[in-house]
Structure 1
Amino acid sequence: MPVDVFERIAEFVAREDETVRFELIDGRIGQKKETNGSHGEIAMWLVFRCKQTRPDLTLNVTGQGLKVEAYRKGRARPDAVLAPTGHFNGRGDWADPDGVLMAVEITSYDWDTHHRDRVEKPRAYAEAGIPVYLLIDRENLSVLLHSAPDPEDGYRDTHVVRLGGEVVLPEPVGIVLPTGELKQYLD
């Protein structure tokens, strides 16, 4: 499907139903559904931690779309995107990933989580050159840190930290996350 056709469909659906957002990854249309309250609490916990440590950055949790995959053929809506404050001002629904420091996904309890968050998204974000991909995996009680993106091979470094441990987000992010508080948001 041509990207311009996808963007028109996604825009139409968003106007008709605010609870549904589409993505185009690996040539396949996916749907981002509304999440539960705990999902939102995790996102806000992360916003607070990032802003507290790096006030020069903003963790955008509004559904900012990114052009991803080789040659920007994909479209993704991460749960959160970390970039310098003001970075997305005037960039529209689907921004280039240049300047994005980190993409974040928080697993949902649905049938497509494994393929979408653990397979497709890391590959797409690495191809786009996003330095850090953070997956907060509620199902596996862990946080996966992907770094050192390689457009050909995906992320070269992946570290798994069980909830309760510390996640050290490498430069250019430079933030340490104590994950013990996340245990309260597992429903």
Structure 2
Amino acid sequence: MTAEHRPQMSAEAFEAIAAAAALREEVDLEFLHGQLTVKRPVDGDHGEIMRCVARQCIQRLPGLWPYARPGLRVELYRTGRARPDCVLAPDESFAGQGEWADPAPVLMAVEVTSYDSDTDARDRRDKVRAYAETDIPVYLLIDRDSCEALVYSDPVDGTYRSLVRRPFGDEVELPAPVGMVLDTERMKNWVR
């Protein structure tokens, strides 16, 4: 007999709690697959990796912009709430939207793993599923534990059909609709 999965709360209740937490600026909250998750502040190396990714996107993809930490409505029925480290989308994609935006214009979500106890569940499992269910074409996971870039792509029926893993130092092809090669050489400098 399997246990029935019940959300901890509604998406609306989560949004109220997340808004109150944001006022303190200590943590970001996310709501993935009915469960509240805490995203702690990032460290300097995490920020450098994000700067490296953002700079390459800006240089190589005119008309697209790396938006830092936007709130997105995710999952199959858009009942989840995620705050990726970065998303790549056309300019002005989120104009006029509130804190939790429609993910339709997002071409790529980017996450950099943290050194906390729940990064495995959050970044390597829950977000892979949530972004695939949302039909975000590319999910780039920069995994500082394994020192590699993982590129998930081709979402079909809530699952990414393609996963390419490349060690830091290799060039990483980000498939269409992103369509660029990411240099990961410098990322080796920002891992423990």
- The interval holding the TM-score normalised by the smaller chain is over 0.9
Equivalent position to 1:70, from 76, 86, 92: 76
Show the counterpart of 1:96: 102
Alignment of 1:17-28 (within 5 A): 17-28=24-35
Show the counterpart of 1:54: 61
Distance 2:62 2:191 in 1: 28
RMSD value, Cα: 0.8
Show the counterpart of 1:40: 47
Distance 1:137 1:162 in 2: 10
CA contact (8 A) 1:128 1:151 kept: no
What do residues 42-79 of structure 1 show as CA deviations (whole Å, max 9, x unaligned)?
A: 11111100000002111011x21110011101000000
Show the counterpart of 2:36: 29
- What's the offset of the Cα at 1:132? 0.2
What 5-or-longer segments of structure 2 have no aligned partner? 1-8
What 5-or-longer segments of structure 1 have no aligned partner? none
Q: Does 1:108 align with 2:109?
A: no
Q: Does 1:155 align with 2:160?
A: yes
Equivalent position to 1:117, from 107, 113, 123: 123
Q: TM-score, normalised by structure 2?
A: 0.94
- The letter of the residue matching 2:113 is T
Distance 2:45 2:118 in 1: 19
CA contact (8 A) 1:146 1:159 kept: yes
Equivalent position to 1:84, from 81, 87, 90: 90
Q: Give secondary structure in 2 for the equivalent of 1:177.
A: strand
CA contact (8 A) 1:23 1:29 kept: yes
Distance 2:74 2:160 in 1: 14
Task: Give 4+ residue runs of structure 1 displaced > 6 Å after superposition.
Answer: none
